[in-house]
Amino acid sequence: MSLREAVESEKFVVTCEVAPPKGVNMEHVTDEAELLRGRVDGINVTDLQAACMRVSSLATCVLLKQMELEPILQMVCRDRNRLALQSELLSAYALGVRSVLCLTGDHVVLGDDVAAKPVFDLDSVSLLQAAQGLIEGRDLGGNELESTPTDMYLGAIVTPGADPVEPQIYKLHNKVRAGARFVQTQAVYDVDTLARFMDRVSDVGVPILAGIVLLKSAGMARYMNANVAGVNVPQALIKEMAAAGEKDKAAKAEGKKGDFKVKTSIDIAGRLIRELKPLCRGIHLMPLGWGHHVPAVLEAAGI
């Protein structure tokens, strides 16, 4: 079942993210993807995540297609001009990739090569417009295509916890008008935050999947609160992770393997999914290297 078919069936949709490697060994990606088989409706493949050079999203998506899995191509505007972006959209479609998540992308100053030059010829809205134009048979220059990617399924992102949130709501409507047919959110840890946001965008008319980043430690949670715009991990969850970390330290001191942080992270994510489920059409999991724990998260959530 394709992502589009899953969404149109009105089931509770689950997507998960994988990151290509900084090197050519794809085993970690394929192993994580295999664990997701039959458990998720689509696998997002990040596009030079955090502005760090890696194997491309497109190559990884093609590999997942060869495994008979459902990839979601992430495409950022940072590294390519409009010609290259449109070319890659057509290339992905020609190779069997149908779902595309359009993003502006992190600036290169956040990456691992500050000498890299950013492009940003387009932003997320104009990239969606470009992709929608291709679906309708023309490129951004107004030139007609010989054939069209008619069932390309376009997605976008939004940050429900942004403060102020009004610019996010305004831009979300622009993204939907530009061609977005599904939406994944930045990480949400507060149910009331998502509830308020969903109430304000009830007229948007496209399915919204709430994002969850798996918490690995209290320090990670504090870092996101301080550095990731629009993300707020409540203090109660930070205390849970901190207590788990102390238990792990105590177990290690006794020569034992604790794994309390892993267990607590899984419990928190499962609990959040259960609480968020009535508010949205699905969940988007961002495990950040903990993809092997996603099956346990889904079991904890009753999915």
Amino acid identity of 122?
A: L
pLDDT tens for residues 35-85? 999 999 999 999 999 999 999 999 999 999 999 999 999 999 999 999 999
Alpha-carbon span 25 to 31, nearest angstrom: 11
CA distances from 145 to 75, 131, 142, 153 (A): 21, 12, 9, 18
pLDDT at 251: 80
pLDDT at 166: 97
pLDDT at 254: 74
Count of alpha carbons within 13 Å of 291, Cβ hemisphere only? 22
Alpha-carbon span 4 to 11, nearest angstrom: 11
pLDDT at 40: 97
pLDDT at 258: 73
Max Cα distance, the chain (Å):
69
pLDDT at 10: 82
Alpha-carbon span 120 to 99, nearest angstrom: 22
Alpha-carbon span 133 to 142, nearest angstrom: 9
Q: Which residue in the block uniquely carries the two structure tokens 């590999």?
A: 63
Mean pLDDT, the chain cut into blocks of 10 residues (303 residues total): 92 97 96 96 96 97 98 98 98 98 92 93 98 98 96 97 96 98 97 97 96 96 93 96 91 80 96 97 95 96 93
Q: What share of the chain is helix, strand, coil (3-state, %, to 5)?
A: 45, 15, 40
Structure tokens belonging to residue 255: 């020569």
CA distances from 50 to 17, 54, 112 (A): 14, 10, 8
Distance of CA 89 to the CA centre of its chain: 18
- Sequence ranges of the domains in the chain: 3-300
Model-level pTM?
0.95
Share of the chain above pLDDT 90, in %: 92
pLDDT at 128: 98
- Topology annotation, domain 3-300: TIM Barrel (3.20.20)
Helix (H) or strand (E) holding 90: helix 82-94
Q: At what angle do helices 124-135 and 82-94 cross, to 10 degrees?
A: 50
Bridge-based pairing state of the strands 208-213 and 99-103: unpaired
Alpha-carbon span 159 to 141, nearest angstrom: 31
